Structure 1
Amino acid sequence: MNVALRTGITIDQFLAWEHRQELRYEFDGFQPVAMPGGTEAHAGIQRNLIIALGTRLRGQPCRPYGSELKIEVAGRIRYPDAFVICTPVPPRSTVVQDPVVVFEILSAGTAHTDVVTKNAEYRATPSIQRYVILTQTDAGATVFSRKGEDWVAEIVQADDVLRLNEIGIEIPLAEIYADIALVGEDAEDA
């Protein structure tokens, strides 16, 4: 049997290549993966999240970022919907290596990657203490956090408070979903 072996690229090769692209790509450890577009609900949830984080963290050493910066996790490059970092970031940096809390907004097109693949990558990254997956179909989140050597999941619902002990803040989940028309279970979303 004749099998052609594909060789992947390195992170440095990916970053040099991506810098020349008009669109954004993640790096899955082997090849570039195009970033899909999002919905209005996705954009609204992301906006509310960044505002809530920014307001609570103003004047603190930890800072929130949206999907304009990349993070390096487990030999991959990702653009999470939001993340918080508590160490200084040089002004010209485009890649951050030690996020503390990471947020992804779940959609039909990215669900498997967010729940399975990225979850494993974030769990394998020691600096990440909490991974929050927000839904677009209803006001809710699945929150993974470190408890000793374990990676523990908890469900946070609409009337609950999202406790982010690692960065010393709490956000009512309803605030993240304020003024958002959720897409519903049967809707097509990005």
Structure 2
Amino acid sequence: MITNHHQNHLSPQEYLEGEKISQIKHEYIDGEVYAMAGASDAHVTITGNLYMLLRNHHRGSGCRVYMADMKAQVEELNRYFYPDVMVTCDTRDQASDYFKSHPCLIIEVLSDTTEGFDRGKKFQDYTYLPSLQEYVLVSQDRMNVECFRRNEKGRWELYRFGVGEIVEFSSVDFRCDIAAIYEDLTSSPA
């Protein structure tokens, strides 16, 4: 989530070096950095559940699953974001220890303060990643998963999953009951 804007214009190299030593995370948008805020219990629980489900699914496959602390680079737009969960199966991503440029799946867990940005500008920016096949938005307050999937014509189609349904991420051949994504929440979403 973007919460605090700093006025200093940085090159991508300066930003990446600064993130290595920073005590807080920042997203980078065309030379400007934005501090990231903390997350709620529900946000962290859902993110952790998704990471574990996807990590177990991909064990030994060559695909890598990242949670919260790995940056996604949108090189064409000069952007770096911290997705909640990201999967890459592209060997080119092994070349960088601090960001990934070729994810096939990006997941963002929505909050009141990030929902508009995640649905709008961030999604628009992510569409510049040729490797991205699915962009997923997960609600914290109700069992609702929205999967935007790029079709064979390059257009984005919406697939919604709710209570009692099986969630499917075709980009990584993954399926699970939606209840597994919301497991162990302090207050159960309806």
Stretches of structure 2 that go unaligned for 5 or more consecutive residues are 1-6
Aligned AA for 2:132? I
Q: What is the distance in 2 between the residues matched to 1:182 and 1:110?
A: 21
- Identify if the C-alpha distance between structure 1 residues 76 and 50 changes in structure 2 by more than 3 Å, giving closer, same or farther: same
Aligned with residue 160 of structure 1, among 145, 162, 165: 165
Following superposition of structure 1 onto structure 2, how do residues 59-98 of structure 1 map, counting pairs within 5 Å?
59-73=60-74, 74-88=77-91, 89-90=93-94, 93-98=97-102
Task: Give the aligned partner of residue 19 of structure 2.
Answer: 18
Aligned AA for 1:159? G
Identity %: 26
Task: Give the aligned partner of residue 174 of structure 1.
Answer: 179
Q: Pick which of 140-149 and 16-25 moved more.
A: 16-25
Q: CA deviation at 1:40?
A: 0.5
TM-score where L is the length of structure 2: 0.87
Whether the aligned pair in 2 keeps the contact of 1:41 and 1:183 (CA below 8 Å) is no
Whether the aligned pair in 2 keeps the contact of 1:141 and 1:155 (CA below 8 Å) is yes
Task: Give the aligned partner of residue 39 of structure 2.
Answer: 38
Stretches of structure 1 that go unaligned for 5 or more consecutive residues are 1-5, 186-190
Whether the aligned pair in 2 keeps the contact of 1:41 and 1:136 (CA below 8 Å) is yes
Moved over 6 A (4+): none
Partner-residue secondary structure (3-state), 2:132: coil
Q: CA deviation at 1:108?
A: 0.8
The number of aligned residues is 180
TM-score where L is the length of structure 1: 0.87
Q: Pick which of 15-24 and 169-178 moved more.
A: 15-24
Whether the aligned pair in 2 keeps the contact of 1:41 and 1:181 (CA below 8 Å) is yes
Q: Alpha-carbon deviations, 1:38-83, whole Å to 9, x = none?
A: 0011111011111110111112122211012111023210110001
- Identify if the C-alpha distance between structure 1 residues 92 and 143 changes in structure 2 by more than 3 Å, giving closer, same or farther: closer
Task: Give the aligned partner of residue 188 of structure 1.
Answer: none
Partner-residue secondary structure (3-state), 1:16: helix
Aligned AA for 2:163? A
Q: CA deviation at 1:181?
A: 2.9
Instruction: Decide which structure has the larger Cα Rg and report it.
Output: 1
Partner-residue secondary structure (3-state), 1:80: coil
Whether the aligned pair in 1 keeps the contact of 2:8 and 2:32 (CA below 8 Å) is no
Q: What is the distance in 2 between the residues matched to 1:123 and 1:182?
A: 33
Partner-residue secondary structure (3-state), 2:39: coil
